[in-house]
Structure 1
Amino acid sequence: MQEQVQDQLLGTLVDGRYLVRSRLARGGMSTVYLATDQRLERDVAFKVLHPHLANDHTFLQRLSQEAKAAASLSHPHVVGVLDQGQDGHTAYLVMEYVKGHTLRDLLNEQGALTPRLALALIDPVIAGLAAAHAAGLIHRDVKPENVLIADDGRIKVGDFGLARAVTSTTSTGSLIGTVAYVAPELVLGKPADARSDVYSAGIMLYEMLTGRRPYEGDVPIQVAYQHVNSVVGPPSGAAPGLAVDLDELVQWCTANDAEQRPVDGAALLAELRHIRTTLGDAQLDLQPPLMRAPAHPGAQAEAQTAIVTPGAPRNEPTEALAVTGRPTEVISRQSNPTTVIPPSGIPGVHAAGSTATQQVPRPGKRELRRLERQEEKDRARAAATSVRSLREGNPRRRGLIWAIVVIVLALLATSAGWFFGMGPGSPGTIPDVKNRTVAEAQQLLRTAGFQSEPRDVFDDDVKAGFAVGTDPASGLVVRKFQPIALFVSKGAQLFPLPSLAGLTLDQAKDELNKARMTLGIVTQAHDEKAPAGTVLSQEPAGTTPARHSTAVALVLSKGPQPIPVPDVRGMNQDDAAKALQDAGLTAQIAPETVNDKKVPKGAVVGQSPANGTLIRGETVTLTVSKGPKMVKVPSFVGKQAAAARAALEKLGFEVVVNNVLGGFFGTVRDQSPVDTDVPEDSVVTLTVV
């Protein structure tokens, strides 16, 4: 039922911005879709929370705070959080979309990896965790499914903040995470810190080196209690031939006592890189054994983060536990190691009162190395001590030999102390050399006891010839014999801008996106040739070398400039045609002329169009006047004046009557004009007697 609700998002527009296109993955707390941010026109990973979490106001408030914290973390090996919000009943996170596959996909395909590949893949993961820990963030769900490998080789850690938000809002008896990688303190209900992430990373490295997880079980709670009650064995036990340093590294990370682990990701990263430089090619390229079949049907299934209770059906993808009723008890004894006894009735786990698996405390990494050095000294001392004296009964010779042995051991101890205390083997802090000249940067590194090797790189922020940084990064403590890569800026990497002239605005945007440039200010201008809506020009010009994200300003065509139609009515035909031509228009004379009593012959009596605007070169039709209509004036001499007047007015003439002697008889004696053609509306004068 829930699946149908989630699938209804496909093809919908969330928050008026994110177009959901396809589903990428589904987990215990959320479903991830591929969506398009229509505002910025880019693909994003769109994570939609399941309804039981989306309806929890306290959880949503906590999630918002965690999303803001995760969004503030900017690191090349951490998936960026871009947005967070809620649209109706849809609560979502928007993250950077990394096109590629996960570390889980790689492990499912290849099984165990060579140490060289395993260390190369986990290095950026630990670097991302180190940056998060430095910013005060804890991942809480480190696992291969959350390690994204892009098609171009970039490696990023995803899903920061979500597990932490869930943990903060669920009950104290709940455990959120993936059971195959969960730290023991989380199973015991203790708070998580950076060392919990380190533990999960150690379990993940074990799986990468051996092709299997250290703990497996028929139900998740069995695996959880193995994390608490057992000690992770050396990976060489499952993959013979692995270097001792790798065994130490994994067991250091997966110590049951958090105090015995690296304090955070930065400490682990320094040791990881140190080991990578000390192992030989044969150790790094050791071919792993063939991956054996899983111990149980779900051993290699993709782990999902969820919240469940004991007794959940076996076929659910459960990887997180909620311990209810009887919490885990930690029983301390004076004479015995710490014993963790789980609640009774849990399948595959000893009940209270039965023989419990004892957690044997073991020394930390530094203590192990101290013991190893002491053992080496003991072996050297034993080798230098003769079983029997060179000359029986000669105490002076025997004393001399002992003196030589003591001197040699003292010299060895002094040399070792100098090497590891003040010499090339002593630890040192890498100084910050950013924005310094190469000579200054190398001098700083030499003063700190390091030898550096310059490497040229492109950088948008640091000027050419100045230091960008180092590898390992500044602030890390490493052995002084470890080589340091000094990155020197070649300046910003420039790329040719695309030529956009003649393209539509949408086409221009697509070209800018492909070139990883941005759209600048868009203005418009008239152009007589370019169609409206196409690009006339751009700034900077096409093919100009520029940085990525350079803003390109565009000028779009509004089409030809409109021209107001001049009024040429009443003008002479030739003058009217010239006036239209001067305005950029074409005059066309209508074939028929018309009479007009007010417009003289040869003048323009009408035009079409009479007003408005036209495009340059368009036509205005002119109608020319024939002058007024000519009417013949009949003779009314000898006629009665009243009848003559009425007849003339009917013909359209204006009649003027001049009475002679008072016009007593009312007879027209004279008329002007008479018997001739005159223009209509002309004046006809009648002389009446």
Structure 2
Amino acid sequence: MTAPPTDPLIGHTLDERYAIRSRIARGGMATVYLATDLRLERRVAVKVMHDHLAEDENFTRRFEQEARSAARLSHPNLVNVFDQGHDAGRTYLVMEYLPSITLRDLLKQQQRLTTEQTLEISEAVLSGLAAAHRADIVHRDLKPENVMLADDGRIKLGDFGLARAVSANTTTGQALLGTIAYLSPELVTRGVADARSDIYAFGIMFYEMLTGTQPFTGEQPMQIAYQHAHSEVPMPSLKTADATPEFDEFVRWTTQREPDARPRDAEEALDFVSAMRTGQSVPAGATRVLDFGGGSPTPSTSVLSDVQRDALAGGTTVLPDSPFDTDSHVEAPPEEPVTAIDRAAAGVQRRARRGRVLALLLVLLVVLAGGIGWWFGQGPGSQVMVPDVAGTEMTAAQAAIEQQHLLVDVTECASLTVPAGKAASTDPKSGTRLDRGTTVSLCQSTGPALKPVPTIVGLSLDDAKSEIERAGFTFGEVTDTRFDDAGADTVLAALTPEGDELGAQYPEQSSINLVLSAGPIPNVVGVSADEATAALSDAGLTVDPDLGSEAYSSDASKGTVLSLSTSTDPVRPGDAVGLQVSLGPELFEIPDVSGLGLQEAMDTLTAAGFSPSTLVPEALRGLAKATGTDPAAGKQVEAGTEIRIKSTISL
């Protein structure tokens, strides 16, 4: 027997459509459950208001306000709202289900984020917030807990539980709503919120992403609220060296105590963040609270020579003396021979010099050709082939590559065929010819890649097989079939070969086993025992007389089934069940009251469980004696039957 769930909603179906599977989270106003939309066959998140708040009109109105506010918005960076309703006194909201962690979870893991992560998350959050501001909706509860980081890389802003449509300003009434660490000064002092209040909260969150801490802390909430109202948010560069002047400027701009000094809405802040992320100059029209100066820095040293600088500057440069200067002294060439013998001797000398030069050039060409041949044939310039190391141990693979005079850079990658820890492949591929000294990327297998698990529970067997194959996994077998309220052949659970439940991700091509529904147990209450036995046998169940029983019943005729008892939980085809059969109403014998006083006779019948009656007025009952009853004494009738007393009066 399995223990019953601690949450009564788990296993319940809201409005005969949303089957509650498990609890995801619990907040101050509501509990969020993972559910299956039986009509559209998809996983959804259902937010159910706490029972103790359902009677409070203010809480109910705020909860329904979330549905109306969020339903007006449609943006890739906002959590979609599908439906809202009431069932059995419960107010609920149906939202998009995102397998994810929150920004708060990421901050707990990493302490603080890199500048790249901060800008990426900020751009997504501001994009969604800008869509809300364009619809005149203020979020009013912006904090890391409400930023969802989905497993597939999407970033979404959710939980519009404190959202409200605005015209110019929106007040909170008598109580401050939202998390105190992110409340703007105007919310603390005046209870007024508009789009610029969301910008202040985002600026605090931006500071926290960069530094890993909140700018204002204290032992009491009022201490934190006081700092928001009277202190400037410090620059993040005082906490981390990664924060540039632009990051400081953005934090100071978004967290100004005066709302008019902040960006007017998320759209204006988004332009600044997008410019920082792409490396462009920040928007010229944005309001500035810090002045860092403009222009690009000039190099401290120049690669130009003094002569080049003077020339570029337009100055006159005096070059040093040159051997070709016309003012320098040049010796006159020797005079040409004047006789034929002198001319012949001069020609021989010229030809001899030319021959020596040609010979020297020929020797140089031979040496150069040999050097080039050695360099590219056997020397450092020769190319080598990348070896095939797939499936070998990493140490052996690295040694084989280095033996080819190549450098190795180890990376990781997924592989279906190579076990984790061994060499999977190289980049460039094996067989490629490379110059010696080239770096080759050696990939170490991490085993099969982890892929997101689709929604399988609630599908038919054929649809589940198709979904498993489409998602990149392998269908194993049906390991169990049990009776359930779901229709026959509906998937109740998807398990690993070891019998464990699947998580959000699962290795690709891995086997998935299924647990199926055999349909609901036939309802045999009210039919005869023979009819019930036949119906249960047709469903694959065995009726065991040892598990059966009999009981009196005033509502069911004799021989009809009162209830079904089971010996296992869950109940599977082939299990034994028992029937409780009605004996009909229980009968009691009417006592003989003849000869008793009328009042004593009435008391006797009442004590026996019957309803006595008489035609003798109450004032004369002391003079009357019972002579018999109708029905007669000794007859068996149901308890509570009216028994009329026959009597005589003695005067």
TM range, smaller chain: 0.3 to 0.5
TM-score scaled by structure 1? 0.41
Q: TM-score normalised to the size of structure 2?
A: 0.43
